[in-house]
Structure 1
Amino acid sequence: MALEMRVLSMDDWDVWFDHLELAFGGVPESPQHRETFRSLTEPERSLGVWDGEDCVGSASAFSFRLSVPGGGAPVPAAGVTMVGVAPTHRRRGVLTSLMRRQLDDVRAGGEAIAVLTASDPAIYGRFGYGTAAYALSVDVDTTRVRLSVPPGTDDVRLRLVDPAKALPDCERVYARLVARRPGMPARQPGWDLKTLLDPEGHRGGASPLKCVVAEGADGEVVGYARYRVAPDWEQSGSDGKVQVQDVDALHPAAYAALWRYLFGIDLTWSVRAFGRPVDDPLLHLVSDVRRTRTRQRDALHVRLVDLPAALGARGYAAPLDVVLDVEDAFCPWNAGRWRLTADADGAARCVRTEAAADLALSVRELGSAYLGGITLASLAAAGLVRELRPGALTRASRAFAGDVAPWLPHGF
């Protein structure tokens, strides 16, 4: 029987999602997670591959708006998600056909970029995605590590609040932070509720989700932390751990006050946080960075779908005039030579040109450099970018670089 690809009908959602669970190991999601993802699914952007009555392949996308270098308006982006192929139908071109249809649809819909988090990063490079942002995990021994806090920290008031009741204030803080750091999605309706997902089966013995808010002198909420406490006991006494989900704040004093609170929770001896920015200010507050054990992994992968629109939508750190010779076999409309110019204010324009190229690279490397965290110079050192005109690499690398590391604060 021939395989059939079709746009998802919500009547088929349960079968479609059951397939996805199987593709990711067969462990059922909690009812809370399942219902949340059902509510967030955009059926018109969701694809299924069917073998008779069986769903054997899936891919979906969320309609995101993503912050980019320059601090301007977030850029429309397709948040690629729920990609899976049944183990019975591997190596039959199912994934390639899904990626082909999806990127064609993204282009037709006017989104310049697609982004994803990869369960297996090796898969997506062949479709033009480049690793553009990393995430940091930290594990701090709070019996040996202290914090040096900035002036004003003692003036910050902290209050424990029910996470659901605090959500509107927390979302206002988050919204103000989006423009400050590339890679952050401006939250669309419904996405705020994902931050509150807290099924008991996912806690691993830890407490329900807790929330502490930081307030300024006028009572305005200027920061928040969401966390769980995992109590534990040894013969010598307590050995609890604080599991940090989110810490966001509008100014350094509030940020430090929240971390000081997390470090000082009674009967706990360590703080663990996952998915932090790689340049997290916490690393400059701790007294002993060696006992703040860190681990870095890939987080956000970027694919330029409409190359001139994407490069023209972000800001640049320096004036730029460079001709890029771009390879893109999967989306050939991006291939060829492009002249990218940016003025002193960072405003950019990208157009086709017949001029001689200054740099040669693939669309994957442009995706990696797009959010300003991966430099073109470092990619060139790995042999992935070729300098064709002396001096062009240094100028372009400086212009593409950002002031802060890009960061994806939550998965999708």
Structure 2
Amino acid sequence: MATETVELRALRADEWDAWFDMVDVAFGGVPETPEQRAAWRDVTDFGRMFGAWDGAGWVGTAGAFSFGLTVPGGAEVAAAGVTAVSVLPTHRRRGVLRSMMRHQLDEVRARGEALAVLTASEPAIYGRFGYGPATLEMRLDVDTVRLAAPDLPGMDGVRLRLVDPVAGLPECERVYGRLVPTRPGMLVRRPHWDRAMVVDPPSDRNGAGELQCVLAEVDGEVRGYARYAVKPESNAAGPCGTVVVRDVQALDPVVYAALWRYLFGIDLTSSVSVRSLPADDALPHLVADMRRCGIGLREALFVRPVEVGAALAARTYRAPVDVVLEVSDAFCPWNEGRWRLSGDEKGASCERTTDPAELALSVRELGSAYLGGFTLSALAAAGRVRELRPGALAAVSGAFGSDVAPWLPHGF
């Protein structure tokens, strides 16, 4: 029971529309298009969706997708992709959200998933449930009039071919699948998620045209792709449209540069806008003046270790580490206590111990540092990690790092 009058129960397939209507209301009242609804329904596991029911209807919703998440070292770890968390304004501050989060994390643990992950419309909500920001995404608004396009040797050997975005899905997914193990934070997509990547309702285009897809081939092999739309604009000087980039992926630097050269050179445009790239993406280094790239950063993926021992043992470490962590986790008390983490670039173990603690932190800080996107040293500077043995912080913080920045490739 969530409250005396509100109960939590699973979503039935025949209740989908009413449940999703409630999500729309809770997130501002603007309904998703039929195309968007169909895409979400196709990827939904009804066994993982539930909500709060108050007699005549839904007053809260929550659910999860089953993903594989790449962690440092390249392993795929089962993770619950938390989604559609909402409570109607009429039922706020009645314990509904807390009850749903309690129910969900218990279910995640019962399924044997060591991690829960989410993207947050309001990040301040989720810290109290143990979720920490773990990745950054880079946003760029590139002045393609003042910046020359990327130019690397070998680019002229890359053949570019426009295809229908739906018809191009198999080739794009093959490229994406090869890249997933190379960067922490990337998601192993389950069935039907490829179609979700090309949903393109006119109501979401904000003045841009239809979604386009270009494939990049070398010696007949597709080695990259870009999905984008063109937003036509003009002023007294003439056309000044924007290339709105949804996704660019490539298997090598030359193909990546060739795709950006193509995007920079689209007729009747003067800028390129992209909302999500890794924080260490190559594009700012492929141009002569990164100030003209209009760089911005924001957090993207939030990570919550559900089973601390299993989560920390599932990844590798940049340097040898042997440390006792004192973990606090009031919401999932099975994680509370001391854990000895031992590992290196080949593997790790994390077991309970009674040895003296060397670092003290909450599960939220572990989530932030887990993929290597934020350092324990930075969190300590904010007063959120305590060093109990001199020298422990620097060694452990470095070991948690990643050679490439973690990145979430798309929302859910």
Quick one: distance in 2 between partners of 1:228 and 1:147?
Answer: 18
Alignment of structure 1 residues 114-125 onto 2, 5 Å: 114-125=116-127
- Tell me if 1:31 matches 2:31: no
2:18 to 15, 19, 22: 15
- Check whether the contact 1:318–1:346 (CA below 8 A) recurs between aligned residues: no
Quick one: distance in 2 between partners of 1:292 and 1:206?
Answer: 21
Alignment of structure 1 residues 107-256 onto 2, 5 Å: 107-217=109-219, 219-256=220-257
Alignment partner, residue 294 of structure 1: 295
Cα deviations across residues 229-265 of structure 1 (Å, max 9, x unaligned)? 0111222211111000000000000000000000000
Quick one: distance in 1 between partners of 2:203 and 2:111?
Answer: 39
Quick one: distance in 1 between partners of 2:232 and 2:305?
Answer: 45
- Give the drift of 1:287: 1.2
Alignment of structure 1 residues 364-375 onto 2, 5 Å: 364-375=364-375
Quick one: distance in 1 between partners of 2:187 and 2:356?
Answer: 37
- Check whether the contact 1:147–1:287 (CA below 8 A) recurs between aligned residues: no
Specify every segment of 5 or more residues in structure 2 that has no aligned partner in the other structure, as ranges: none
Quick one: distance in 1 between partners of 2:50 and 2:143?
Answer: 46
- Check whether the contact 2:150–2:261 (CA below 8 A) recurs between aligned residues: no
Amino acid at match of 1:410: H
Alignment partner, residue 384 of structure 1: 384
Amino acid at match of 2:47: E
Quick one: distance in 2 between partners of 1:29 and 1:37?
Answer: 10
- Check whether the contact 1:319–1:346 (CA below 8 A) recurs between aligned residues: no
- Check whether the contact 1:64–1:77 (CA below 8 A) recurs between aligned residues: yes
- Tell me if 1:103 matches 2:105: yes
TM-score by length of 2: 0.98
Quick one: distance in 1 between partners of 2:336 and 2:41?
Answer: 37
1:69 to 69, 72, 90: 72
- Check whether the contact 2:150–2:260 (CA below 8 A) recurs between aligned residues: no
Quick one: distance in 2 between partners of 1:148 and 1:245?
Answer: 19
Amino acid at match of 1:358: E
Quick one: distance in 2 between partners of 1:379 and 1:292?
Answer: 29
- Give the drift of 1:37: 0.9
Instruction: Determine helix, strand or coil for the equivalent of 1:36.
Output: helix
Amino acid at match of 1:378: A
Quick one: distance in 1 between partners of 2:309 and 2:236?
Answer: 63
Alignment partner, residue 404 of structure 2: 404
- Give the drift of 1:31: 0.4
- Give the drift of 1:136: 1.0
Cα deviations across residues 279-310 of structure 1 (Å, max 9, x unaligned)? 11001101111111011111000000011000
Number of paired residues?
409
Amino acid at match of 1:20: V
TM-score by length of 1: 0.98
Which shifted more, 362-371 or 155-164? Answer: 155-164
- Give the drift of 1:150: 2.5
Quick one: distance in 1 between partners of 2:320 and 2:291?
Answer: 39
Alignment partner, residue 51 of structure 1: 54
- Tell me if 1:40 matches 2:69: no
Instruction: Determine helix, strand or coil for the equivalent of 2:15.
Output: helix
Instruction: Determine helix, strand or coil for the equivalent of 1:242.
Output: strand
Instruction: Determine helix, strand or coil for the equivalent of 2:126.
Output: helix
Quick one: distance in 2 between partners of 1:390 and 1:150?
Answer: 47
Instruction: Determine helix, strand or coil for the equivalent of 1:165.
Output: coil
Instruction: Determine helix, strand or coil for the equivalent of 1:63.
Output: strand
- Check whether the contact 1:317–1:346 (CA below 8 A) recurs between aligned residues: no
Alignment of structure 1 residues 79-94 onto 2, 5 Å: 79-94=81-96
Cα deviations across residues 195-228 of structure 1 (Å, max 9, x unaligned)? 11001111112110001111012x1000000000
- Give the drift of 1:148: 4.1
- Give the drift of 1:106: 0.2
Quick one: distance in 2 between partners of 1:320 and 1:399?
Answer: 6
Instruction: Determine helix, strand or coil for the equivalent of 1:70.
Output: coil
- Check whether the contact 2:19–2:61 (CA below 8 A) recurs between aligned residues: yes
Alignment of structure 1 residues 344-355 onto 2, 5 Å: 345-355=345-355
Quick one: distance in 2 between partners of 1:80 and 1:149?
Answer: 41
2:63 to 60, 64, 82: 60
Amino acid at match of 2:398: R
Amino acid at match of 1:46: M
Amino acid at match of 1:342: G
- Give the drift of 1:147: 3.4
Quick one: distance in 1 between partners of 2:325 and 2:265?
Answer: 52
Amino acid at match of 1:61: A
Cα deviations across residues 80-108 of structure 1 (Å, max 9, x unaligned)? 00000001000000000000000000000
- Check whether the contact 2:6–2:54 (CA below 8 A) recurs between aligned residues: yes
Cα deviations across residues 170-204 of structure 1 (Å, max 9, x unaligned)? 00000000011000001110000011100111111
Task: Report the RMSD for the aligned CA atoms in angstroms.
Answer: 0.9
Quick one: distance in 2 between partners of 1:283 and 1:308?
Answer: 38
Cα deviations across residues 90-136 of structure 1 (Å, max 9, x unaligned)? 00000000000000000000000000000000000000000000111
Which ranges of 4 or more aligned residues in structure 1 deviate by more than 4 Å?
none
- Check whether the contact 2:149–2:265 (CA below 8 A) recurs between aligned residues: no
2:5 to 2, 5, 8: 2
Amino acid at match of 2:373: G
Quick one: distance in 1 between partners of 2:277 and 2:381?
Answer: 27
Instruction: Determine helix, strand or coil for the equivalent of 1:355.
Output: coil
Specify every segment of 5 or more residues in structure 1 that has no aligned partner in the other structure, as ranges: none
- Give the drift of 1:346: 3.0
Instruction: Determine helix, strand or coil for the equivalent of 1:35.
Output: helix
